[in-house]
Structure formats: C-alpha cells, structure tokens
Structure 1
C-alpha cells in the first residue's frame, strides 16, 4: 500500500501490517468475543431477516390502503409502495444477540408522519398479535415508534420523500429524493446515510465490525454506553471506531482496539472527529460549523456525521460525562499496554465498572406508574430528559459537582407498583491539588427538573418520580448482583490530609450513626456553622405528608427522598 494513500481527511498515522504477536493476540480476542456470546446465532439472524421482510410487507399494504382511501386511480393504488431500510448496528453488521433493529420506512409524499404513520399505522400494529410494547414517541428529536415484533425490538422511523411512487431499489442519497423535505425527514434519513458512508469509507469492513463489537461491549461494561445519559450511543462509537480504522488501515482488530484508546486518550477535545470533509449541500440545512453557529461552540466532544447534513452526533455530552469517558479511555489504554506486554489478558479490559463502589454519594431517581404499559411510556419520557438533569446539576454547582449518570436501570421489588430506579454518582471536582470542602444545594435544580417533567402532555394518575440522596453504605440491596452489598470500606480518605472527605451532605442515617459514635468516644467538638454551606435538601424538622402510592414498610431506612410535591419523605414514603 502506498504511503500517500489517504483515508478520511488526512494520511494514516501508520500503515504497518500486523506482526505475529498481533495475530496471536487477535486470535485470543476473537476467542474472548465468542466465549462472551457477542455474536448472534444463525437462527437469530434468520429470524431478524424474516421480521424485517414481514414489516416491509406491512408498510406496503398500509400505503396501498391509504392510496385507495384517498381516491387515487387503480393504477396509482397498484404502484403505491413503501420500503423498509435498516441502519444502526444491524445495518453495520455489528449487532449482538437480542439487539434491536433500527429501521426506516420510506413512503411517498402524500403519506404523512403525524397522522398516517403515528395514528393509522400505529393502530394497524396495535391490533397485531405479533406486536407488543408499542410506544409511539412523536415528540422526540427524531420521531420514532418503538415496539417488539415476535419478541424482536424495533425502532421504526418514517420519512416521506418528494416522490409519488417509491421505487423498490430507491437510492435515498439521490438529489431527487432530497428536494422539498423538512428537517425531521432529513434527521430520519440520516441514520441510513451515515451507515452507508461508514461502510464506504472504512478500509476493511470486517475488521471494523469486529473492533466496533469489542468497543461497544467495553463501553457497556464500563457504564458509558448511553446517548440519553450524555455518553455515547451506537452511532457515536461506530464513528470513533471508523476513524481509527482510517488512521491504521492495515491493522487487525487486536491492534485497532489498542490504537483506539491510544488515539482518544490523547485527543484534544473539542477538536472534532471527522471521517471526511463536511459537505455544505444544496438544500440549505445547517451543518456543524462553530464559526457560524453559536450552539456548536458549546459542544464538548464533537463527532461529526459523514453524510449530509453533517452534524455533531454527540451534542448531548456534557463536561462531566466527557470527564468520565476520558478517565475510562485512560484506563483502557493502560490495560491494553499491559496486554501488549503480556502482563494482562483481554478479560481485564472488559471487567465491569464498579459504579457502586466508585462514589461516596449518589442521587437516586425512582420512576413509578400504575401498570407496566404506563411505566413504559412514562419512563421513556423521563429518560429522555435525564441529560438535562445532569447539565443543570453541573451548572448550578458551577461545575464543581461532577455527575456520573449510570445507564443501567433497576427494579425495587419492595414497591407495590411497577417501577424503575436510576442512579447518579456524585463527586466533588478537584480544584488544584485538593477538593474544596463545600456542600452543595441542588434542591432547586431537582424542583426545576420536576417542573419540566410535569409538563408532559399525557401525564396520568399513578405516574410519578421520586428523588433521593443516598450515601454508598446505604445503597439499596437491589443494585447488587446477588441481592446483598459487597464488603467495602465505608469512607474515602483525602490523600493529602488523611482525613475523611465528604463530597456532599451525608444521608440522615450516616449522620446519626456518626454522632452516636462521637458521643460514645467523648470526642464531640463544638463547630461553628459555615454560612456558605447549604443543606442539600429540605430540612427534615418540618413535618411533611407521606407521598401517595408509597409504602412505609421499613421505618429504619432514612434515605432522603424528594416526592412529586417537593416534600421530604423516606424512601418507603414515611414522613421524616
């Protein structure tokens, strides 16, 4: 291969071919992936293909029905058509067992998204026995209909293009398709465009697929795979991996995984990651350009899509989530260096991140609903706003309180209603060589977040959200794999002073226990209150009503909880 060959926007970093040691490590990596069950079976892939074909038949019949009802000619009804195109990990060939299918329905100009897709097609799907968990989200940034078809999860988008008849072999990148379409349609088409461009611009598709499978698995194990929480989703990881493949065109997956961490550990954000130059296009839609667009200047980790209209696919990343990911990249880089030296095995890279041991303090968010279907819709809306909560906490504490939203969800078996629990790790950001000894008050932040949630237009009785502050030693048992807490130290110590370091206000249980211990040891000291330090939540001295729908089974659990009305109640609903 010529050293002048270019992939992407510049020349490769290295065109070196793999050594025998690289090939041996690659064999070990492939074995690890197989042993970890990261590849779907042939039977599962065949079932996915059948579901995609069945869905294609459904949308074709739906469009013909609409064409007939609207009085078009018999010939128009016969020619009427819609097609299903896939994108995301399934289209890229990097999906795993149980993965969902990202699909786009392309329909003619006279079939609308608002009424025909989200109402008529929705009702058709709702009546089918094969369809379950149907959840339309028309207000999303990219409107989507989520459901399971014969047990396979599907995210279905819709794009109405400027043609009366949709050809079966449609090229959605052709200019005739793009004329007279709105921004939401462009966003819906973008997933297919990006997938096609990635496969077109990587030097070796199979090496790309294996490497992407590795990095997605790693990101999920490390708790940083979630676009909704301000980390990175599937398309973001695909673009990062594709860029590394361009920079090392002759590398095999064992090398590409190592180079991935080497590159992004040293990457100077917010310099953008781009697979190809930005295309301005002829349709007038805004593309990512921090020189012209003020909003683009605030992006922390720009990863630019390689298809029109070129935009930042990772605009949800915050300063705090970028810091978390940067630390994980550094950790991955250290382990890969040890693997190359023969001091570690691949399994070390993919160990679970000990999230519930990493922080002293946590914010717990409980989402409850009257029944399982209600919870599905309600939880989807609340989750879509989580990024805003993280951003507001960071802003309202002047960036000194770092939030690590954990993507995993949990179920509290003690609650009588369907529920999901989510957690944020909280830590004080280091300033200079130490951490400022300051408590943080984000009661107002939580209230403002609730206010935005309450504006949800289909809010129903029984749907609610609860916020609680818990320290590590009082985390609920349901977050641990075996239902009980691991043995671990109860307090962190400041490396500089050797004294306990408390990031935010202690939960009431810990506070009481510590006071009793001090009394027993006769070490109570008079401390003058610091006026600059605020309480993290409302004072528990004022009697508050018990939140409806919550039980009071465990009066000893004193984790502070913000109910829907902003009252302070215990985790089980008992008034403090």
Structure 2
C-alpha cells in the first residue's frame, strides 16, 4: 500500500501530502547560518531539557510500564483466570503529544496511554485497582483521576515528573508486546473513549511519518510552540492553538517545502497561513473513509462540521477536526498574529529585525480598556481542581454567546491562562478583553446589554452535575486601570507609558517611511522624516496610528503600541468612555492596514509585495517552482482549491452544536434557560462604561480599586441590540456617583 499520504508527480517523483510542494529549493549558506542562530536562540531561552531530566523521564516511563504489567496480572488473577492466562496477561505504555514528537521542554508533562486487554475495565480496574496501587506508592503525588472527562484521564506526578495517563481497552485477551497502535484493526469492537484515547498516539505517529525531515520539523515546531505561548495564542480550550494543532500546521509547511531548513520553514509558516482562506481545511493526507464506519470530518455530509471556522484535520482514521473550539474572535486574533509574524520575518530577512521582536510577549492587559473578569472559588483543593476544569471547558461558550447576542458587534479576546489571588483561599480567575467591532455606528448613550448573556452563561456553569457547596462563579466588568494587582509579577502594577515600545518605534518608523515614499510618488504632502524635524515625525506617527487602528478593531487586539490615559480622570469622566475611534486610538496601533474581515472565511489572500520574503530569489541550489512571491501566492491558492474549496463556515453555531467536548457530564444550553430563572428579570445591575451586566457580577472583590465606588449612570434597562440596529436609548442623564450597595432593582421594560 505504500506510505499513507505519499503521492506521485507527473515525472514519477514522490512527495508527501495531498498536493505537490510549493518549492523544492534547498538551503542556501545564509539559511544554514540563520538556522544555527535560531537553534542557539531556542537553547538560550531554555526550551531544551537537560540530559539528567531526559534520563529521569525515561526511568519514569520504564517504571510505569512495569506497574501496569503488575496491575493487569493482579486483576486477571482476581477475576479467576488460570495461571497460564495470568502469566500471558499484559499491558503496555505508549507516549504521544509533545514528548513523542520530541519537542517537550523542561518540566513538561508526559502524555501516556495504557493499553490493556478486554477484561481490564476502565471504571473498576483502571480507575479502581490501578488508581489504588498508584495512591499507595511513595513516588506518586498529586494523584487526580478525572473519569468523567470526555477523554478519561488520570493525572499525577511520578518522582516529580507530571504524567497524564489515558486508558484504551482493546478487544483482545492478550496485548502483544510488539503491538502496533497505528493499525486500523485495533479500533474494532472498542468503545468511544478507547477510540479517543488511541487517537493521540495514532495521530502523533502518523504526523512523524508524513513529514519529510523529522529534525527540521521538530526544530520548527519547538519554535512555533514558543512563539504561540509568547503571543498568547497557545490554548486549545480557549479557542486558540494547542500542541497537536501546531504540529499539523508545521507538518503541512514541511510538506510544501520539503528541502527547507527551520529558518525558511518559520518564514513560510507565517506567509502561507497569512494567505490561507479559512475555513479551507489543512490536511497532511487525504481523509480515508475506513472500513469500520466511524464518522470522519466532512462538512458536505455532517452538519456540525459546517460550523468549524479553522479546520485542521488529524491524519489518522477516524480523521477529525482538531480545532473545533476556534471562534470568530480567536480566529481573528490568530490571523492577525500570522500577519504580524510574516511582516517581522520579512524584516528579518532584510536584517532590519531580530528574533526578540517576533517573541515579544503580547501585552494583553495593556491592549484593551474593557475586560470581563471571571472569578471562581471552591472549599478545598480537590473541589477547585474539578470546578476549574469544568469552568474552563465552558468559557468558550461565553465568548460564543457574547458574539451571537451582540451580532458580532462586541468582540472578545479570552486570555489563555488563569491567575490566583494568594490572599484568597482556593481561587482562580480568568480574563477576556472586550472591544467594539470596526464600522459599528456609535450612537449617543448606546450600551451593550449583556446581562442575560452573562446570566445564561452562569446558569449553564452552575448546572454542573458534580457541583458541590462552595463552588461559586462571579463575572465582573473591569476597566484597564482597575485590573487587580495580583495578576502582575510580584503583585506590582507596571507603569504603562503612552510612548511606543522599542518594537513599535521600529515598525512605525518603517511604516511611516513607506507611507512617505508612497505619498511622494503620488504628489502628496508627506513630511520629510529626519532627526531635525521631530515634531513632524511624531505627527506622522500619530496619523499612521489613527489610520491603522481604525482598520484594526475587527481584527486582532493591538499587539504593539499601547497608550494609557494621560489626562487626569475627573469625577464626571471616569465612566463616560465610549468604544469609538478615540478609544481604539488609545488602545494602540497595528502593523496591518488591511481592511477588516467581513467574514471569517475570507482571510486576506495576501499581497505578493508584502507577505513574502527575499528568500525565494536566493534559493538556486535546486529546481524551484516558485521563482517569485507572486508565483508562490498562486501556488498557495492552487493548494486551497481542493474538494472542500466550496466549504463556507456558517455564521453562527447552533445550540445543539455547543456541546462541550471537554466533559461528558454537561448540560445542553437552550436560549431560554435564563428566562425561566426567577432572579434574572429583577436582578440588580450597574451600567459600567458601555456594558450592562448584573450588579451582583460587578461587585467582585477585586473589580475596582476605589473602594467599591464607580461612576454609574442611573439604572436604565437597555434592550439587546438586534440585527445591528441599536435600541432606542433614553435621554442621557447626569452621571451620579453611587455606592454599589445603593443600586436599586432594574425595571424590566419587556414586561
């Protein structure tokens, strides 16, 4: 049958992937040197584990394999098997994820899979006898079984090494020591949890088979994982990219440039995915129907698949979309980050930038003026661990609900991680940045009413079937200046300067210079930039910021310059902020001058003058079908004209598709669940900035730094925005300084 994913060109040459490569060019001497620099950079930032730690991991895996072999013999004897069958009874440990791919870093956990025979059950034996054995071992600490997860897992530390252990119960009486989990027959007569548990190993092994150069793949993937974490787009549960998603994206780039070194692969990663037209899927091989009748990803037949915005398809049967969590907002953010990376790589190829700029951390808490803060608490560590996992799996629903019920006019940016206030027991909190979509008309006194949305989300979360007393959740609206101090390193709030950072100075200077040249060529009145004309230079920078930021509101949050309010906040102005152009300007500038996306399935196809690099002209060591950027752009367009080219993601995800895939014990949302809540119609609320949310949610302990006082407008109920048309707003009244405890009940005008 040959290697899966291997195809033939017309001239008889073979290549990996569903299309022929974009470029067969080999590395130049400059590529070799820059790749060495890249590897040194990764070593310098501590992405490689020490030899001692590597040996320690191998010892843990060996010890774990011995334990499961003892375990399966113990339960076989307990079930009355004769000594011959007990002697033959076997179980095996497999690895997958970052460890199996060879891109794990110091302190990373090991994703492992225990494969056992048909008589070793998951509920009684794996989460029973094996869990008991582990709990009695001194080497095992922090044991946390999660049997109710969509993919049941047992988490623990073994000699200080974090381990995530899954279980696959095969339809075999004896597990052979040379078992090959990549064979399709292994999926026969097994339950859904086993299929999902096996999927990690099967996908990981298939990825390694489908890349032309494993070492180049590993270095590039290690690079991209570090980049994604620094830029805040590494979190599958939050709707961004997880480890397997990045592995598939990098693997496809390796197929398209099979002879390239990591330096070029990084540049092409950003260039290709800047031009990619989502929801065209990324696939390492053709989707196989298989012989077992398992459902595979196909938007032409499966209605749920039509709502996927950024399909990245796993290469092992049954092929699935690994990025079902991506939302409109997170896709917008990632697309902007791809474009930013492409521009920086182009500047680096011209020796005008460096790796530090590409890896500059995303300034999330400087990027917005408005945030949602979600606080959760519990009574003990175990309850908090369970509550945390459940809430994290539902946070995506809050983003979806806000986008849906404001018709995309209020955009969310979830922060991929949590914080803890050490002064509070058993506490975690999460943040979401909020901003108005570009082009939404701003009317006097207009507000976004998201009270019912927040109530509906809380109602869904509180319906957790394993809920226990003490498990609580609060949703608060906070402004940038009132972000709690405990989220900052050392608990010290940094002084946000209104001046541009080093990266911004570079990018602004290049953009302004380019603008000046363009205006000169068109007979414009651009000012000449020079050291002696500082006033004009600043004016040009400011004008450029204004122009760029207007096109930025509906793409990603600003990742460059951040302006903090520099004027004193008066008693009458602290709550009068509007999500208009002036706010956007204060939120920062963005490199991109591309008009905002009108729909997520129309990612810009790129410009041959701005999305490429000078690399193609230097590659002369091998035949190259891409002699310039325009030909490369056309090649990328051709790649996307496959069997799913006509697939267009639907604008909204229906309630029946909103099922959380992180937990089995979940409650289906229906849009009217909150309306039946007797507390939702008469709950106290506050109007803060433009957001109207329940008063109870605003009164979080750490929402404000002014002792619970905030400039509030009188309690007026604003109807939700429908079809993009703002609801009538009563005449604006003077701002009143109120204490939260004095707020009256809201008047339900719908009754």
Band the TM-score falls in, shorter-chain normalisation:
0.7 to 0.9
Structure 1 runs (4+) deviating above 4 angstroms are 1-4, 434-438, 489-494, 496-499, 544-547, 550-555, 557-560, 573-576
How many angstroms does 1:452 deviate by? Answer: 2.0
Task: Report matched runs for 1:299-378 at 5 Å.
Answer: 299-378=308-387
- Secondary structure of 2:489's counterpart equals coil
- Secondary structure of 1:404's counterpart equals strand
Which residue pairs with 1:291 in the alignment?
300
From 470, 475, 481, the equivalent of 1:467 is: 475
Q: Deviations over 1:98-129 (max 9, x none)?
A: 11100111000111122222233222222222
Counterparts in 2 of 1:516 and 1:497: CA distance versus 1, 3 Å: farther
| 8 Å CA contact retained: 1:142, 1:184 | yes
How many angstroms does 1:307 deviate by? Answer: 0.5
From 402, 408, 414, the equivalent of 1:393 is: 402
Which residue pairs with 1:208 in the alignment?
217
How many angstroms does 1:554 deviate by? Answer: 7.3
Counterparts in 2 of 1:378 and 1:574: CA distance versus 1, 3 Å: farther
Counterparts in 2 of 1:234 and 1:436: CA distance versus 1, 3 Å: farther
| 8 Å CA contact retained: 1:242, 1:275 | yes
CA distance in 2, matches of 1:414, 1:224: 29
Counterparts in 2 of 1:553 and 1:129: CA distance versus 1, 3 Å: farther
- Secondary structure of 2:399's counterpart equals helix
Which residue pairs with 2:244 in the alignment?
235
Residue 186 in structure 1 maps to residue 195 in structure 2 = yes
Which residue pairs with 1:526 in the alignment?
none
How many angstroms does 1:451 deviate by? Answer: 1.8
Which residue pairs with 2:707 in the alignment?
556
- Secondary structure of 1:382's counterpart equals helix
Which residue pairs with 2:625 in the alignment?
none
Which residue pairs with 2:84 in the alignment?
75
Residue-pair matches, total: 537
CA distance in 2, matches of 1:132, 1:575: 49
Which residue pairs with 1:426 in the alignment?
434
Compare CA radii of gyration and give the structure with the larger one.
Answer: 2
Which residue pairs with 2:489 in the alignment?
481
Which residue pairs with 1:134 in the alignment?
143
Which residue pairs with 2:170 in the alignment?
161
CA distance in 2, matches of 1:291, 1:219: 32
How many angstroms does 1:481 deviate by? Answer: 2.4
CA distance in 2, matches of 1:163, 1:367: 44
CA distance in 2, matches of 1:552, 1:32: 39
CA distance in 2, matches of 1:431, 1:502: 9
Q: Deviations over 1:364-407 (max 9, x none)?
A: 11121223333222212211222222212211211111111111
Which residue pairs with 1:445 in the alignment?
453
Q: Deviations over 1:129-172 (max 9, x none)?
A: 22222222223222212222222111111110110000111011
| 8 Å CA contact retained: 2:478, 2:704 | no
| 8 Å CA contact retained: 2:42, 2:223 | yes
CA distance in 1, matches of 2:114, 2:347: 47
CA distance in 2, matches of 1:440, 1:329: 30
Q: Deviations over 1:511-530 (max 9, x none)?
A: x95444699xxxxxxxxxxx
| 8 Å CA contact retained: 2:438, 2:553 | no
CA distance in 2, matches of 1:10, 1:497: 37
| 8 Å CA contact retained: 1:86, 1:101 | yes
Which residue pairs with 1:525 in the alignment?
none
Query: 36-45 or 121-130: which moved more?
Result: 121-130
Task: Report matched runs for 1:220-299 at 5 Å.
Answer: 220-299=229-308
CA distance in 2, matches of 1:476, 1:441: 24
Where does the alignment leave 5 or more consecutive residues of structure 1 unmatched? Answer: 504-511, 520-530, 561-572
Which residue pairs with 1:567 in the alignment?
none
Query: 144-153 or 8-17: which moved more?
Result: 144-153
CA distance in 2, matches of 1:313, 1:435: 38
Query: 286-295 or 397-406: which moved more?
Result: 397-406
CA distance in 2, matches of 1:558, 1:245: 56
Q: TM-score, normalised by structure 1?
A: 0.87
| 8 Å CA contact retained: 1:4, 1:11 | no
- Aligned-residue CA RMSD (Å): 3.2
CA distance in 1, matches of 2:21, 2:442: 41
Q: Deviations over 1:168-187 (max 9, x none)?
A: 11011334422211222111
Where does the alignment leave 5 or more consecutive residues of structure 2 unmatched? Answer: 1-8, 500-541, 555-567, 576-686, 712-739, 744-751
